[in-house]
Structure 1
Amino acid sequence: MGWPLLGETIAFRKRHPCTCLGEYMEKRINKYGKIFKSNLHGAPTIVSADAELNRFILDNDGRLFEPSWPTTLVKILGKKSMIVASGDAHHYLKSLAINFMSIPRLRSDFLGDAEQSILQTFSTWVEHTPFPLKEEAIKMSFNLIVKHILSKKPGEPETEQLRKLFMCFMRGVVSMPINLPGTAYRKALKEEHIQIVKLKKERGETGALTWQDYKKMEFTRCIVSETLRLGNVIRFVHRKARSNIQFQGYDIPRDWNIIPVFTATHLDPSLHDEPHKFNPWRWQTLSASTTRDDSYMAFSHGIRRCPGQELAKMEITIFLHHFVLNFDWELAELDHPLASPFPEFPKGLPIKVHKLSLDM
């Protein structure tokens, strides 16, 4: 169970490539199976790489299980934050967030502003000059949210000060999915967006994207889903058993922590064909059993599923639409994403871009 107090925490949190489980998880799954006990963050803990148990835990959030985040995270976010809060307080905060980022609001308010924020950021890029794409991705998301919550515009002194604090807080948390030049899915992705532009011209439409345009970006959303499967931000969550619980022959003692590891199910070969292979087409053929959709928890699951998931997917999709139509790009230097435990690019994913002229 590891060292006193620390237990196996250091091994559990050791950096490893985002697209694998890391040495700690792989060794223990091979030795003990998908459900095993450990000592993490100073407490006895059950670690689950089992899709059914993970779903059971999150389906019973608030009844059989409750949040049990590390003390450091609670101190940073505060006990009244939506992630940490429980019961009625959590329900109230989440209802506010869901209303704020509802589909009608995405359609009427966020879509146009997201596109504007993305294009404004693109206008600051200098060709053939390396820049950290990760920082640019965070900036785009930040500017959009600040505009809707605080009515602040990019570039204002208060906005820039908030952005610096936000960048510090979010270090290592947000990653932007990128498609590699010359691959089959790069070509399919670009073709989808060219067709959308052509259809708009045929209809005599000009200007901003519409909700209908966004909904046509089906293959792009497949790429987003596949990227999140391989390197999702929420790799695991912390829960605690509120009573003695039995699950398929396993005993979960009261007050023990339990960690459902989403990455483990995302990379499980019994659930996904060739799980370490980037294959966005798997999301078009779920009926062929290439992917078990009920094991996909990139935005968690149950009452604590991320209320901003549709906004996040929309932002990334709109970003990719304009990115592939307007730029060719290359890595300025190699930068492999690592989990520690959140995904991060150690160098910020430095790239160089070359502007394209779209002729149709």
Structure 2
Amino acid sequence: MLTIGLVLVALLVIYVTYWVNKWRNPKCTGVLPPGSMGFPLIGESLQLLIPSYSFDLHPFIKKRIQRYGPIFRSNVAGRPIVFSADPELNHYILSQERRSVELWYLDAFSNLFVLEGESRTSGATASIHKYIRSLFLTHFGSERLKGKLLPLIEDLIRTNLRSWSSQATIEVKHCASALVCDFTAKLLFGYDAEKSSFKMSEKFERFAESFAAFPFNIPGTAYHRSIENRKKLTTFLERVLRERKSSAEKSEEDILNQTLDDMEKEEFITDEFIIQILFGGLFAIAESIPITITLLFKFLSAHPSVLEELTNEQEKILKNRKGSDSPSITWDDYKSMTFTIQVINETLRMGNIAPGLLRRTIRDVHYKGYTIPASWTIMLLTSASNLNPELYKDPLEFNPWRWKDLDSQTISKSFTPFGGGTRQCAGADFSRVFISIFLHVLVTKYRWTNIKEGKISRSPMLRIRDDIHIKLFEKD
């Protein structure tokens, strides 16, 4: 019996050794990028989720770039992945959409954003992607902004900032989330925050706060709370969809109406597809803008010279508009906000929410002697490009004036806050316009004092962990 036991133990040791060796040395027809696959099953997921309280690169990424170079491999959430801080490789990968790579979400992310029974890959054919992009450009693009949205956004911001100034203190991220979420929901599916008993912004903020947590779907965990809040949000959206479909009148000019009108023309448009469109659009717009607004308060408070030049530019626009035919901001006013856009760009550069863009290889990708095998994930580290000292001098210094001297080629290749390639966010213009108008109203009509500095963290997503508190005052 002892002999049999020893043989079994030996076989087990041999098997485990073989399995661990296979894990650490994945199959590849060429040379894999350098790196480590971490522990079996969990890879290096835990190191990536340790929070860092700095605008600098997450330590997981920074240490590996220093050790292995700008291209390295790892394993996150059970999937082999190559991280790239190489601008040339990143530019190449973005140009290979639907040829060598496809859009991809890690399984944990897909569990929150993809409905049951739907594909977890990009799944969308070129025609479906073209439809989605056209849909959002129609309702959030520059033509819609020029024709209808500019005065609506300005009126919305004026009303909300007036309300903020009447309160003893403001939690910036919380209030900005409610402002942007409710307005976006109205444009998407006619949501009326004042009349609805369902608190959209409250549920959505709870979802967004914990969606990037470690994917343990166990009651009491942050990830489980995100899944529960997602269910509440999608249940509400399903009810909105049913009510709109049964309504005799469909006069609203929103995305929900257009998708319903298009159901008869396009077979891929199902009820589940529409819910995904509404939920995904809400997340893409209503999560990024509030974080950027919060960071702007933080940076402007710490850099009075930036605030002074920003105010001078906006007051000049206000002065030039007096006596004109339009009492509101015009498209020409927006296009003249040169320094304002520089401030926004610098905020997006330092405060890029996601560490990078995800793609999955359709076939083996060969680059600089390395091979990235088919079906591997690639994360294009836009955050590393944004903090590259070779591209941006003193990258951790908030300096909007740097954008005057940057050439267009550097910007197009290294600065992708709204994605890149054929997947660039269709809401990019909407986001920039919304934030620009917010700054216009803020600095020309109000001043503020900081009550609480707040705290940011990367784990690896940039989050507002401890909200910034301010007191807002109307200018004399």
Answering whether residue 231 of structure 2 is matched by residue 112 of structure 1, we say no
Does residue 234 of structure 2 align to residue 195 of structure 1?
A: no
* From 383, 393, 398, the counterpart of 1:278: 398
Residue in structure 2 matched with residue 234 of structure 1 by the alignment: 354
Q: Which moved more, 1:225-234 or 1:80-89?
A: 80-89
Aligned equivalent of 1:78: 114
Q: Which residue in 1 is equivalent to 2:51?
A: 15
* Closer/same/farther in 2, CA of residues 297 and 123 from structure 1, 3 Å limit: same
The alignment yields a C-alpha RMSD, in angstroms, of 2.2
Contact kept? 1:234, 1:299, Cα under 8 Å:
no
Superposed, which structure 2 residues align to 1:309-324 within 5 Å?
A: 309-324=428-443
CA contact (8 A) 1:68 1:240 kept: yes
Where in structure 2 are there 5+ consecutive unaligned residues? 1-36, 211-286
Conserved? CA contact 2:193–2:199, under 8 Å: no
Matched residues in 2 for 1:83 and 1:102: separation?
26
Structure 1 residue 351 and structure 2 residue 470: aligned? yes
Change (3 A) 1:274 1:167: same
Residues 255-292 of structure 1: per-residue CA shift (max 9 Å, x gap)? 11111111001001111111111111111222499x64
Q: In the TM superposition, what whole-angstrom CA distance separates every residue of 1:158-216 from its partner, at most 9, and x where no partner exists? A: 4x522222222333743022222662111100000110111112x44563211111111
Residue 63 of structure 2 corresponds to which residue in structure 1? 27
Percent identity, aligned pairs only?
A: 28
Contact 1:9 1:40 in 2 (8 A): yes
1:77-131 per-residue CA deviation (whole Å, 9 max, x = no partner) reads: 1166999443233332222112222211011111111111111211211457222
Equivalent in the alignment of 1:142: 181
Distance 2:439 2:120 in 1: 30
Shift of the alpha carbon at 1:18? 4.9
More helix by share: 2
1:170 partnered with 2:291: no
Question: 2:3 matched to which residue of 1?
Answer: none
2:459 matched residue in structure 1:
340
Establish whether residue 2 from structure 1 lines up as the match of residue 38 from structure 2: yes
Q: Which has the larger radius of gyration?
A: 2
1:80-99 alignment to 2 at 5 Å? 84-87=122-125, 88-99=127-138
2 CA distance for matches of 1:228 and 1:355?
27
Given that 1:19 and 1:276 are in contact with CA atoms closer than 8 Å, whether structure 2 keeps it comes out as yes
Please give the per-residue CA displacement for 1:285-333, whole angstroms capped at 9, x wherever unaligned: 22499x6442001111011111101100111110011111122212211
2:22 aligned residue:
none
- Decide whether aligned partners of structure 1 residues 128 and 148 sit closer, same or farther in structure 2, where only a CA change above 3 A counts: closer
How far has the Cα of 1:243 moved from its partner? Answer: 0.9
Indicate how the Cα distance of structure 1 residues 245 and 81 shifts in structure 2: closer, same or farther if over 3 A, else same.
closer
In the aligned structure 1, how far is the partner of 2:130 from the partner of 2:302? 44
Number of equivalenced pairs:
354
Do the aligned partners of residues 354 and 263 (structure 1) sit closer, same or farther apart at CA in structure 2, a change above 3 Å counting?
same
Q: 1:40 aligns with which of 72, 76, 81?
A: 76
Given residue 309 of structure 1, which amino acid in structure 2 is its aligned partner? A
Using the alignment, how far apart are the partners of 2:334 and 2:193 within structure 1?
24
Structure 1 unaligned blocks of 5 or more: none
Runs of at least 4 residues off by over 6 Å: none
